Structures are given as C-alpha cells and as structure tokens.
Amino acid sequence: MINITEKQSTFRSAVAVATVHLSLHETLDVVLGKKVPKGDVFEMSKTAGLFAVKRTSDMIPDCHPLPVEYAAVRFKTAPLTIFVEVEVHTIYKTGVEVEAMHGASVVALTIYDMLKPLDKGIEITSIRLKDKKGGKSDYAAYENNLKAAVLVCSDSISAGINSDTAGRAIAAKLERCNVAITALVVIPDDKEVIRDKVEELSLENDIVVVSGGTGLSPRDHTPEAILPLLDREIPGLMERARSYGQERTPYSMLSRGIAGMKGKTLILALPGSEQAAVESMNALFPYALHIFSVRDGQRHSQLQESR
C-alpha cells in the first residue's frame, strides 16, 4: 500500500456510474412492478452496493481502510436501460473513487444476478467515474510567479560544524509548489541578524521561510526577532502546523513557530530540524498559497468556481 501518512485529511467525494442494458422490454416492467422472484431489485442491489462501498479495502489490495461518512445509491431508468449512480463522501487522507466504483459494480452485478433468469441478454456495458472532489487537485499551486527565500538560523551550521538539511527540504517543497527560490541563506542564531536579514529578504520575495530558533533553548530567538516585523499575524497557519506535528510526536507542542504578513510578503518561522520542517511544510503547502490569491483580490467564491 502507498504511504499516506504525510497527507492531510480533507473532504473528498466521488460519484461513479454503471449502466445495465436489458434485452427485453418486459424485464423493466417486472422490475418496476416489484415482481422479480428474487425480490425487490432496487432495494436489494442498493443494500449490496452499500456493503461493497464499506468493504472496498477488503477486496482491492492497495485501497486503504477509510471512514465512509456518506454513501448513496440512486437509479434512473430508460427503455431497456437501468442507470446506477453511487456517491461516496469521506473526510480522510485519500479519495473514495474506487469505493464509489466498487459500489456501482456490485449494484450492477446484483441487478444482473437477480434478472438473469428472466432476461438472458442482460449486459453491464460500463462502470466509470463520473466526478470527484477533494485532494491535491482541489488545492492546486498558485499559478502566478511567486518568489521565496529560505533563511536557516543555526550557530552550528553557520560555523560549518553541521550541514543544512532543513533549509534544502523547505526549498524543495516550495519548488514542487511552483515557487521559485531566490536565496537559501544560513546565519547564526542572533536576534538582530535574523531581524535584519528577514527585513531585507522580504523586500524582494513573496515568501520568506525561516528555519530554526523556534524552540526554548537560550539561543532560540527567531519568534522574538520576527514578531515586531509583522503587520498581521496568521495564527491558523501555525495552529495547523503544530496540530499536524502532534499527530506524529507530542513534542510538536513545544514549537514557537509564528506566521504573518509583512506588507505583501508571507513570513513563516519553522523548526530547525529536518523532520519538523518537512512536517510543517507538508501541513501548510500548497494550501497556504491561497493567501496570495486573496492578497491579489480574488474572492474565495471565485476560487471555488475556477476549480
């Protein structure tokens, strides 16, 4: 199974459809009249489909078990045709496309099984995904050209004792979100140096990410250096980063990371360890790039319509 531990739980939905063709006109009359010897075709196949949705991971090896928050089976009919539609919702780390398609296939097979003694020419002609929402495709990277600088605050790295891994990981994540990296700078854990460098980098970049100095050691000064520079804090970003981190280690609650805007520039202060920095970036991006759509005057409703 694919590792989804780095993904975030978001609302996801899928609609799958199946088409069952009949060869005799009287077959549909028997179905609608509820005169099929094996029982009510729609009710029995609906029940089978709901069971199938919930047990998809038992049948498809690479499907993850997930909470099914909502499932519905709907039917439409036309001459010689029964249309099946299955809709599934979840709030989880992975989508429900296969669950919806599995449900639709079992509904169609149940219809086939119940009607085959009456109609030898019955045929399932298609099972396909009709629609899906949620996941990466709904949170595409901001399309305009954004520039970012990464600032690593570490006495040991600036002295050449240790090598930087967190800063490079932050830069790599930003690049995957189509953000251009203009600078990756290493400086000591000095409050005045941090403040001056952040101020300098904020003049020419849309994003400045500072890594390190957010803990509780005597040399951790990053929040104190950055806070006076911010015009507006964005508490929700670090709330999310810490929440995401605490799902993996309780020590995340000790991080003093902050986020906010200086003019039109987003400034983030993240932990200095590679793992904590990667987790924070996974928690925040690409979702935080929505800030720049709002900054540029596009309303949330317009963003929803454009997707």
Using an 8 Å Cβ cutoff, are 186 and 152 in contact? yes
Chain center to CA of 115: 41
Judged by DSSP in three states, 120 sits in coil
Q: Quick one: DSSP state of residue 116?
A: T
Helix, strand, coil shares, percent, the chain, to 5: 40, 25, 35
End-to-end CA distance of the chain: 29
For the record, the structure tokens of 183 come out as: 């600078």
User: Catalytic: 113?
Assistant: yes
Judged by DSSP in three states, 287 sits in helix
Q: What is the CA radius of gyration of the chain?
A: 27
Measured between alpha carbons, how far is residue 14 from residues 53, 112, 187 in Å? Answer: 11, 24, 48
Measured between alpha carbons, how far is residue 171 from residues 134, 152, 217, 244, 296 in Å? Answer: 26, 11, 25, 20, 24
Phi, psi of 269 (to 5 degrees): -115, 115
Q: Quick one: DSSP state of residue 46?
A: H
Active-site pick, 40, 113, 155, 190: 113
Region of residue 34 (left: phi > 0; alpha: psi -120 to 50; beta: else): left
Judged by DSSP in three states, 160 sits in coil
Q: How many C-beta neighbours within 10 Å does residue 286 have?
A: 17
- Residue pointed to by tokens 């109609």: 119
Judged by DSSP in three states, 16 sits in strand
**Residues with catalytic function:** 113
